[in-house]
Structure 1
């Protein structure tokens, strides 16, 4: 492994983490700038696609709508594996997502175990996500005070 490969691996890890941090802040306008212009974002739950988006504008609107009743968003990114081929790369990241919001006038904490399978592209010497498929593997909801 050479220095360039290590630099790319660090940049891809930082990209995934920045996407999560901006999502936690609900800063969707800046978050989607980390995706390519016509990026695809798909969410799969229980083997079924529950959301498929194309492009930054569609992503901002959907993310805002999805999280409108959520007061706290928290992503905890774990292990990441990437394969780099020039200006393209693929990767998988494990993530634990916590959402706290109101449902039926009760405060609910939802914990989601997810994996993200990403396709990355380097444009103007900057890595972006070209496609992200989020697999919501499991989730748990509890009422909190």
Structure 2
């Protein structure tokens, strides 16, 4: 049972990345509890603290409108399961291409996510996601 739950939670984290890369924000919101909290740290400073999927969807849509291309690669994913809740840590490399002054700029993000998951209505959902953007590097891209 625990092995299947771990696999399901990994699939949840991967679905979040895939839907984000495809800019399918409304579908991505279905992976969260309605009252989910999403917090982002950059250089140890909180730069976003969003509560609820309505607010999260607005924020993600605004962000996605400024990004030409997303590419996410997920790495390790460790979870601890306790009944109908679980915690997990996952690592991702995210690349984003935006246009700035007529040039494409690629930004590489190295991110650690600390998640809290809840089993609700017969499926696992993200109740809280804390993103620690540890390394951020931006540079012009040669197309």
Do the structures match in fold with TM over 0.5?
A: yes
1:33 is aligned, of 30, 33, 39, to 30
Segments of 5+ residues of structure 2 without an aligned counterpart are none
TM-score (norm 2): 0.97
Question: How far off is 1:106 after superposition?
Answer: 1.6
Alignment-derived partner of residue 81 in structure 1:
78
Q: Is it true that 1:13 corresponds to 2:10 in the alignment?
A: yes
- Alpha-carbon distance between aligned partners in 2 of 1:52 and 1:33, rounded to the nearest angstrom: 19
Q: Is it true that 1:23 corresponds to 2:23 in the alignment?
A: no
Question: How far off is 1:67 after superposition?
Answer: 2.4
Alignment-derived partner of residue 135 in structure 2:
138
- Alpha-carbon distance between aligned partners in 1 of 2:64 and 2:23, rounded to the nearest angstrom: 8
- The ranges of structure 1 where at least 4 consecutive aligned residues each deviate by more than 4 angstroms after the TM superposition are none
Alignment-derived partner of residue 66 in structure 1:
63
SS at match of 1:70: coil
TM-score (norm 1): 0.96
For 1:88-142, what per-residue CA distance to the aligned partner results, in whole angstroms no more than 9, with x for missing partners? Answer: 0000000000001112322101000000000000012200000000000011111
Size of the aligned set, in residue pairs, is: 142
Alignment-derived partner of residue 109 in structure 1:
106
